[in-house]
């Protein structure tokens, strides 16, 4: 069933307020799906890409994946006291979330010094682990842990309006992908369940891998080497390498999403670039750190800015 903007029986995007933002989405979908329209786009070319952290689910007080990693690092520090004075084990062991949060913010401001330290710890934390064991561990964590500030399970911190948007686009012939700076294998166990996006449509960061032959059919394990950090200018590169098409719809929320939103905004056809502005400190967690440049770019380029406070009737 197509959730057409003109459907008399179905109200599309019910958790969105009747504001210009919602109308802009409906108008765009109407134009690109109406045969005979000068803006018509064939279904095969209706590609939509979305960042995950801060776009599809809450990323504060820290990205969910970071919580998962910190528990692993803290466990390592408990077993090896020499790690307690080394970052990022020190921050994990002492639960110094401020240092970790600042490291992410510094990354979005162009300073990757602390992020490289975190990545170095991650590479050691999961070296030699089988990818399927890692995904099982990630799935168990995601189905049991909760956001420490919102006091709700992590899997219930997905944004309801964004889930509606994914279903709406899908019903109108779009194919949705995740293009995230987060770890691909951390997200994959729950993207079908949570977003209706299958394993193969998750584009994210990754560690280097190696195949090991054994009597049980072989296994793939992580190396203590980076593969791809899927953020900033790498997002369009990875989107093209994995999808082979330029998206016509994209959603993000940070400076790291600027290249993806820019890549979508091609003059050869209609496009929709959307930025989530976390300006509601009552229903979720308000912040602009790491998004200042993207908000400025949105004003200059005419990208649609979604106000959590004004555009969403319901957040979770």
Q: What is the mean pLDDT of residues 220-238?
A: 95
Of 59-73, 227-241, 252-266, 298-312, give the lowest mean pLDDT range: 59-73
pLDDT for res 2: 47
State pLDDT tens for residues 101-133: 788 788 878 888 888 888 888 888 899 999 999
Decide if 102 is inside a domain: yes
Predicted confidence band of residue 10 (pLDDT cuts 50, 70, 90): low
Same domain as 197, residue 115: no
**pLDDT surpassing 90 at residue 300:** yes
Name the average pLDDT for the chain.
93
Whole-angstrom Cα distance, residue 126 to residue 75? 12
pLDDT for res 121: 85
State pLDDT tens for residues 240-265: 999 999 999 999 999 999 999 999 99
Same domain as 180, residue 119: no
Whole-angstrom Cα distance, residue 46 to residue 48? 7
**pLDDT surpassing 50 at residue 8:** no
Same domain as 306, residue 206: yes
Same domain as 230, residue 299: yes
Tell me what percent of the chain is helix, strand and coil, each rounded to the nearest 5. 45, 20, 35
Please state whether the peptide bond connecting residue 61 to the residue before it is cis, i.e. omega within 30 degrees of 0: yes
Predicted confidence band of residue 9 (pLDDT cuts 50, 70, 90): very low
**pLDDT surpassing 60 at residue 293:** yes
**Structural domain of residue 132, as residue ranges?**
64-152
Same domain as 170, residue 255: yes
What is the percent of the chain with per-residue pLDDT over 70, rounded to a whole number?
A: 97
Same domain as 193, residue 300: yes
């Amino acid at each position: 069933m197509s959730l057409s903007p003109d459907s008399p029986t179905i109200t599309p995007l019910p958790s969105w307020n009747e504001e210009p933002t919602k109308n802009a989405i409906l108008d765009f979908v109407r134009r690109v799906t109406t045969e005979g329209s000068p803006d018509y786009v064939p279904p095969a070319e209706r590609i939509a890409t979305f960042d995950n952290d801060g776009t599809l689910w809450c990323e504060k007080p820290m990205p969910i994946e970071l919580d998962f990693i910190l528990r692993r690092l803290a466990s390592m520090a408990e077993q090896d006291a020499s790690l307690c004075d080394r970052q990022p084990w020190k921050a994990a062991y002492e639960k110094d979330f401020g240092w970790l949060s600042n490291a992410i913010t510094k990354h979005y401001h162009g300073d990757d010094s602390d992020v490289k330290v975190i990545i170095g710890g991650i590479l050691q934390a999961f070296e030699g682990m089988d990818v399927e064991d890692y995904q099982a561990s990630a799935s168990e964590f995601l189905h049991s842990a909760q956001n420490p500030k919102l006091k709700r399970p992590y899997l219930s911190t997905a944004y309801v309006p964004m889930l509606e948007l994914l279903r709406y686009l899908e019903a109108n012939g779009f194919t949705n992908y995740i293009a995230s700076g987060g770890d691909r294998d951390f997200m994959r166990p729950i993207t079908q369940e949570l977003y209706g996006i299958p394993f193969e449509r998750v584009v994210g960061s990754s560690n280097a891998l190696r195949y090991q032959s054994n009597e049980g059919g072989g296994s793939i394990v992580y190396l203590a080497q980076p593969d791809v950090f899927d953020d900033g200018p790498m997002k369009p590169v990875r989107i093209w390498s994995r999808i082979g098409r330029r998206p016509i719809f994209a959603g993000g929320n940070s400076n790291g999403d600027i290249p993806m939103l820019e890549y979508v905004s091609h003059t050869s056809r209609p496009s929709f670039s959307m930025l989530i502005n976390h300006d509601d400190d009552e229903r979720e967690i308000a912040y602009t750190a790491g998004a200042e440049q993207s908000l400025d770019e949105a004003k200059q380029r005419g990208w649609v800015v979604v106000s959590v406070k004004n555009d969403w009737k319901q957040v979770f």
